[in-house]
Amino acid sequence: YGVDVKYRTGFWNGRPLKTRMTELVAALGELASQYGAWVRLHYVYPYPHVDEIIPLMNQGNVLPYLDVPLQHAHPDVLKRMKRPANAEKTLDRIRAWREVCPDLTIRSTFIAGFPGETEEEFQTLLDFIAEAELDRVGCFAYSPVEGATANDLPGALPDEVREERRARFMEVAEEVSARRLQRKVGQTLRVLVDEVNQEGGIGRSSADAPEIDGLVYIDPAAKASQRYKTGDFVNVKITGADGHDLWGEVA
């Protein structure tokens, strides 16, 4: 599990370093920049200190990618989940993050069909997704977990209702994703090549976490100076997009 160090001050590279998230992320980004490595933050709870991390992403040492578990948007559902309940404030923060870091990619996960969720509450979630325009989302139909306090909540929904709401959620989310990816057509992105085959290359941009996000399909190199291999970083001009993936050619 690890050890809780309670904001202890340690030393790194001959200087004091506090064990606070902002300071640690800044130091990690500094270290990564020495090697041209990517640092991607996953499952970052939306605590106030997140606002301090976004400028570090805009500086470039840490990838402009934020995976933040929001779970729902209706305040009553969030209260039943024992989560912070202020969707309007969340929307304001998302807008502020994007003002500070225009290239920011936001990923989140949500639950549809939580016990007691009404159609009105679910519609609030759909409205939130459409307005927030999150780049990458996942949605799970609620499923009871052994020992969870949610198992004792009233208003458990039938399996078919939970699955139907999950499907409706993903339909809206994919429309948002398609719009945002289409805006990248014509741009040139730095892409990490994960695989090379007879059809070209398959890689990921800074907006694509491995295994859970989309891919960038790269045309075969048109000339020797454009050849690439697995593990290379290449600049790719985006020529096409769908709801999940991008296509492009070496710039």
Residue 203 tokens read as 């890689």
**The domain containing residue 237 runs over which residues?**
188-250
Residue 7 binned pLDDT confidence (cut-offs 50, 70, 90): low
Global pTM value: 0.87
C-alpha to C-alpha distance for 143 and 151, rounded to whole angstroms: 9
Residue 6 binned pLDDT confidence (cut-offs 50, 70, 90): low
Determine, yes or no, domain membership for 4.
no
Q: Which of 125, 159, 182 is the last residue of a domain?
A: 182
Beta strands at 233-241 and 188-197: parallel, antiparallel or unpaired: antiparallel
Residues 169 and 60 in one domain: yes
User: Mean per-residue pLDDT for 218-236?
Assistant: 90
User: Is residue 90 over pLDDT 70?
Assistant: yes
Answer for the pair 54, 63: CB distance below 8 angstroms, yes or no.
no
C-alpha to C-alpha distance for 211 and 202, rounded to whole angstroms: 12
Which H/E stretch holds residue 25? helix 21-33
C-alpha to C-alpha distance for 11 and 19, rounded to whole angstroms: 10
Residues 171 and 211 in one domain: no
C-alpha to C-alpha distance for 194 and 188, rounded to whole angstroms: 18
Q: Which of 158, 182, 206 is the last residue of a domain?
A: 182
Answer for the pair 32, 38: CB distance below 8 angstroms, yes or no.
yes
Closest CA to 42 of 89, 126, 105: 105
User: Mean per-residue pLDDT for 170-181?
Assistant: 96
Residue 1 binned pLDDT confidence (cut-offs 50, 70, 90): very low
| DSSP character at residue 230 | T
User: Mean per-residue pLDDT for 6-30?
Assistant: 77
**C-alpha pair distances (Å), 171 with each of 88, 160, 168, 184:** 23, 17, 5, 21
Q: Which of 182, 205, 230 is the last residue of a domain?
A: 182
Residues 87 and 192 in one domain: no
Answer for the pair 10, 17: CB distance below 8 angstroms, yes or no.
yes
C-alpha to C-alpha distance for 47 and 64, rounded to whole angstroms: 18
C-alpha to C-alpha distance for 204 and 122, rounded to whole angstroms: 33
Residues 32 and 155 in one domain: yes
Residues 118 and 229 in one domain: no
- Write the CATH number for 244: 2.40.50.140
Determine, yes or no, domain membership for 3.
no
Residues 121 and 195 in one domain: no
Residue 49 binned pLDDT confidence (cut-offs 50, 70, 90): confident
Q: What domain count does the chain have? A: 2
